[in-house]
Structure 1
Amino acid sequence: MKVLIYSAKDFEIPYLEKANHGKHKLTFIKESLSSHTAMKTVGYDAISIFSADEACIITIEKLKSFGVKYISLRSVGYDNVNLRAASRLNLRVANVPAYSPHAIAEHAVSLLLSLNRKLITSNQRIKNYNFDLNNLVGFDLNDKTVGIIGTGNIGSVMTKIMHGFGCKLLGCDIEENKDLIHQYDISYTTLEHLCEQSDIISLHVPLNMETHYLINEDLISKMKYGVIIINTARGAVINTEEVIIGLKSGKIGALGIDVYENEKGVFFRDHSSLIPDDDLLITLNAFPNVLITGHHAFLTEEALTNIAETTMHNLDCWKAGKETENELTDIN
């Protein structure tokens, strides 16, 4: 099968080639998928895309007209793909449902620890041989209340880690995880109550109509003064403008994000010679109590291996004329 790999990063290509074992003819390009770059798929049976690629209805229709039959995502999230259009046009789409929940959860904890203990500021001072300790005071995580919004694969690992720190745990999800209740003493509650009681809030939900701008002015007003918010889910789960207001007022004590609602076209690229024309991002980046990483929570050897292997597994199934258990489209 001829496969065009969009948004190919240098660090992931060796993993994809190794997982392929020469079974498919892979072509790697750095461009992301869009309605403008869809024409590059002429002559290919399948494509593989990442979370920053755009497979809207127009793009899907173009892919179909160019002969593409399969789309293998290299991500868990699929909010960037119009699945209804893909199903209607008989394009099979599959994702990587769980590549390494530990990678994401551990990154979330890294953001939390770095912000709480002000490690970035401390290190910057040391680089200048400034060993002053003023304004570097943090707090013990032990006995603090951590609210975990979304207790699926990643949220479950986050629960386990924060339990190890001796935290009190509150959870909010559509379904309660009985194992988490029994093993880690997490208490499920409403979103509002979680926000009212938590010293730290960590987001681990998919992006959909219910979670879009989940963290907004109304919920922020219910939070504890000085709350720390960590988002390694999707950028648009938080309303950036209203979070900035919370940061300015001090209501939000610190913000750690690996994702950003306007990251498309910005993240995964070097903009050091030309600052992006994005006032929200510039404002966030100016806060000393905001830590931003460029969507690299997934970037571990284990996660890259699992992503590559599952991506190739999906392609292998389709080549053999079989469905893959990871399919997202409903095709008869």
Structure 2
Amino acid sequence: MKISFFAANEAEVVAAAAALGPGFTVGSTALPLDAHIAGNYADSEIVSTFVGCTLSKAVLVQFPKLRLIAVRATGYDNVDLDYCMAHGIVVSTVPAYGDATVAEHAFALLLALSRHLVACVEATRRGEFGYVPARGFELRDKVLGVVGTGRIGRRAIEMAHGFGMKVVAFDAFPSAELKETPAFRYASLPELLSAADIVTLHVPATPETIGLIGDREFDQMKPGAMLINTARGQVVDTPALIRALASGRLGGAGLDVLPQEPLLRREDALFKAGTTETASVLKDVVADHTLTSHPNVLVTPHNAYNTVEAFQRIMDTTLDNIRAFAGGAPANRVA
């Protein structure tokens, strides 16, 4: 079988090829998959994609032999599932790889915001050891609002308790087990927003969660509250976020995800022949740039997953998914 890995590290692909054995022909590129490069890999029977890849109909039609998409991630909102199901293309994912990894990154963003760490580091690098930042705040006794109590959300709750925080959570499907946790309670989303000093998002991008946090929700938050998003950029209405920051309603934000990440990675794609981006997409790109330069916002480049341990789990599960498909019993299938 011919496999093409996209947005791939060469050393990891070499190791993957050796692990898969002679029944597979493996190729790779460091570039994310999009409509501009898909044709170069048209003979692929399996594609393995990562963060930043696009698997829209315009991309998928260029793979006439495609049988499996092995997503090296948990989320698959970048895959046109309707097209895949209509054309018999199996889609597999990695359902669990970074519970601790992503939750730790959420707290890294929160700690950096709470103590103005980036400004302090930049000052000392300029030789300004007498620099005094704005006063920070302690996490102990603060209320953390956790939106989404799946694997990552639960790990964030554990970490919050380690810091001596109280936790209020919202989930469309509350966990009976979590309800018994000390210093924890479930609430409606409006109740959570009004109670939390910090809101952290841990939900997938679905039709129900797109734009989950917008103008109305920011108005319901405590004045000066913080927002952490390591979930998906589309969960937050970016223009509304900018308005909340500008008004002072929101004290700051730590973001590892933005709505238009593929375009931010390769902005030249906006100007390629045949590109017809809508005004709303272009507005999102401008908004994303506004956030990356905002003094009360920390943005990391969708890097919450990036640990040695998480990457090993991602690759191990991806190879298992490929072997399972080749053996006629697809695993971790979402389409």
User: TM-score, length-normalised on structure 1?
Assistant: 0.90
Measured in 2, the distance between the counterparts of 1:268 and 1:100 equals 26
Spell out the pairing of 1:49-198 with structure 2 (5 A cutoff).
Answer: 49-63=49-63, 66-132=64-130, 134-198=132-196
Q: Evaluate the alpha carbon distance shift between residue 195 and residue 14 of structure 1 in structure 2; reply closer, same or farther with a 3 A threshold.
A: farther
SS of the residue corresponding to residue 297 of structure 1 reads coil
Measured in 1, the distance between the counterparts of 2:175 and 2:17 equals 37
Deviations 1:3-53 (A, max 9, x none): 011122357546645654666321111232233333223332211111321
Partner residue in 2 for 1:304: 311
Q: Evaluate the alpha carbon distance shift between residue 21 and residue 80 of structure 1 in structure 2; reply closer, same or farther with a 3 A threshold.
A: same
Deviations 1:90-125 (A, max 9, x none): 111101111121110000000000000111111111
SS of the residue corresponding to residue 256 of structure 1 reads strand
**Contact 2:146–2:199 (Cα < 8 Å) also in 1:** yes
> What is the letter of the counterpart of residue 206 of structure 1?
P
Partner residue in 2 for 1:292: 299
> What is the letter of the counterpart of residue 236 of structure 1?
Q
> What is the letter of the counterpart of residue 240 of structure 2?
E
The Cα RMSD (Å) is 2.3
**Contact 1:160–1:184 (Cα < 8 Å) also in 2:** no
Which range is displaced more, 2-11 or 297-306? 2-11
Measured in 1, the distance between the counterparts of 2:205 and 2:140 equals 31
**Contact 2:94–2:318 (Cα < 8 Å) also in 1:** yes
> What is the letter of the counterpart of residue 315 of structure 1?
I
**Contact 2:17–2:24 (Cα < 8 Å) also in 1:** no
**Contact 1:19–1:308 (Cα < 8 Å) also in 2:** no
Which structure has more relative contact order (CA 8 Å, sep 6+)? It is: 1
Given the alignment of the two structures, is residue 5 of structure 1 paired with residue 15 of structure 2, yes or no?
Answer: no
Which of 248, 256, 268 in structure 1 is aligned with 2:246? 248
Measured in 2, the distance between the counterparts of 1:305 and 1:15 equals 11
SS of the residue corresponding to residue 265 of structure 1 reads helix
Q: Evaluate the alpha carbon distance shift between residue 127 and residue 29 of structure 1 in structure 2; reply closer, same or farther with a 3 A threshold.
A: same
Which range is displaced more, 50-59 or 160-169? 50-59
Could you tell me the percent identity over the aligned residues? 32
Partner residue in 1 for 2:39: 39
Measured in 2, the distance between the counterparts of 1:23 and 1:305 equals 22
Spell out the pairing of 1:174-253 with structure 2 (5 A cutoff).
Answer: 174-253=172-251
**Contact 1:99–1:306 (Cα < 8 Å) also in 2:** yes
> What is the letter of the counterpart of residue 44 of structure 2?
Y
> What is the letter of the counterpart of residue 54 of structure 2?
E
Q: Evaluate the alpha carbon distance shift between residue 299 and residue 23 of structure 1 in structure 2; reply closer, same or farther with a 3 A threshold.
A: farther
User: TM-score, length-normalised on structure 2?
Assistant: 0.90
Shift of 1:205: 0.4
**Contact 1:15–1:304 (Cα < 8 Å) also in 2:** no
